[in-house]
């Protein structure tokens, strides 16, 4: 992969990169399309990264369908598909991990303490293999994007991070490979995440500025669904990712939800600019 990327660079071709764990959906496809618009060559990687799953998480059962992924990528005209083996990425006696400190410990980090260490490590490895000029991420994993931006800045990686809007099903459910785990009833229960975000938007539009009040109404909405179990509902500043008490006119905030529906853990968010 590295040899190929060096060759492409020698030919003055810009490389767009879409890192994925496969089981691709419209959200991933939107990233590939953005990459094709912005770069001369697009590389997609598929690698279910064991280092970002805790032992009690779903690494083994994470959905995989390589044939479907390959067909989809061929249809939209992806230039290169990079599918390394776990044993190639983490060779015997592998010892090096990348940790992005403060921002990895909050929110997702409170519930998945080693997750971002695994993400930062695999992306460092993939960046060194693919040598991308641009790397495309979905905004659904808002904190992942923030962690990676921090890593890029701190470790002086040269790729530019481009975050792309969340792609939703017609009824509002954010696309995710993990949606496949939901039963029919849970699939409809899962809409409560989007409903709670819409409620937050409405409250802000109506003039509510106190984070506690907005959050408690979002929590009530989510708790009205029996199969839900909230990990967190938070409002953070878009740039610093720090929690806020009240919303200030002209500023932008992430409204973030992490919640289990049955056994499936889902995350969703919206950015709201306060007028
Ligand atoms: O968002 C994902 O699918 C993964 O965290 C990523 C960025 C491919 C790293 O394994």
pLDDT, mean over the chain: 98
Identify whether 28 is a catalytic site residue: yes
Average pLDDT over residues 85-99: 98
- The CB of 118 under 6 Å from ligand 1? The reply is no
List 25, 28, 68, 115, catalytic entry: 28
Q: Is residue 240 scored above 90 in pLDDT? A: no
Helices (H), the chain: 2-10, 26-38, 66-76, 86-89, 101-105, 108-111, 115-130, 142-155, 184-189, 191-205, 211-223
From the list 139, 137, 131, the residue with the least C-alpha distance to 80 is 131
- The CB of 22 under 6 Å from ligand 1? The reply is no
| Nearest atom of ligand 1 to the alpha carbon of 48 | 10
pTM, 2 dp? 0.97
d(CA 52, ligand 1 centre) in Å: 9
Q: Is residue 99 scored above 90 in pLDDT? A: yes
By DSSP bridging, strand 134-138 and strand 264-273 are unpaired
Average pLDDT over residues 133-161: 98
d(CA 93, ligand 1 centre) in Å: 23
Beta bridge partners of 258: 232, 267
What domains are there in the chain, each with its CATH number?
2-164 (3.40.50.620), 177-273 (3.30.1300.10)
pLDDT tens per residue across span 186-209: 999 999 999 999 999 999 999 999
Give the per-residue pLDDT at 239: 86
């Amino acid at each position: 992969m590295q040899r190929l990327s060096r060759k492409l660079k020698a030919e003055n071709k810009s490389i767009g990169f879409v890192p994925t764990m496969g089981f691709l959906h419209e959200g991933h496809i939107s990233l590939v399309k953005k990459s094709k618009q912005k770069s001369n060559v697009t590389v997609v990687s598929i690698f279910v990264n064991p280092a970002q799953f805790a032992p009690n998480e779903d690494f083994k059962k994470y959905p995989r369908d390589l044939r479907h992924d390959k067909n989809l990528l061929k249809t939209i005209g992806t230039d290169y598909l990079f599918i390394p083996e776990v044993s190639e990425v983490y060779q015997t006696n592998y010892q090096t991990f990348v940790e992005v400190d403060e921002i990895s410990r909050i929110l997702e980090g409170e519930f998945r303490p080693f997750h971002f260490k695994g993400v930062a490590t695999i992306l460092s490895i993939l960046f060194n293999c693919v040598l991308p000029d641009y790397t495309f991420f979905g905004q659904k994993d808002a904190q992942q994007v923030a962690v990676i931006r921090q890593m890029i800045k701190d470790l002086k990686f040269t790729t530019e991070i481009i975050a792309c809007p969340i792609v939703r099903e017609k009824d509002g459910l954010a696309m995710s490979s993990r949606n496949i785990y939901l039963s029919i009833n849970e699939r409809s229960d899962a809409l409560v995440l989007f409903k709670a975000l819409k409620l937050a938007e409405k409250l802000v539009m109506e003039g509510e500025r106190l984070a506690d009040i907005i959050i408690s109404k979002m929590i009530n909405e989510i708790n009205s669904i029996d199969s839900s179990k909230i990990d967190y509902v938070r409002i953070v500043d878009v740039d610093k990712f720090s929690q806020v008490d009240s919303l200030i006119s002209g500023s932008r905030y992430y409204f973030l939800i992490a919640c289990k529906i049955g056994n499936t853990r889902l995350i969703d968010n919206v950015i709201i600019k306060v007028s």
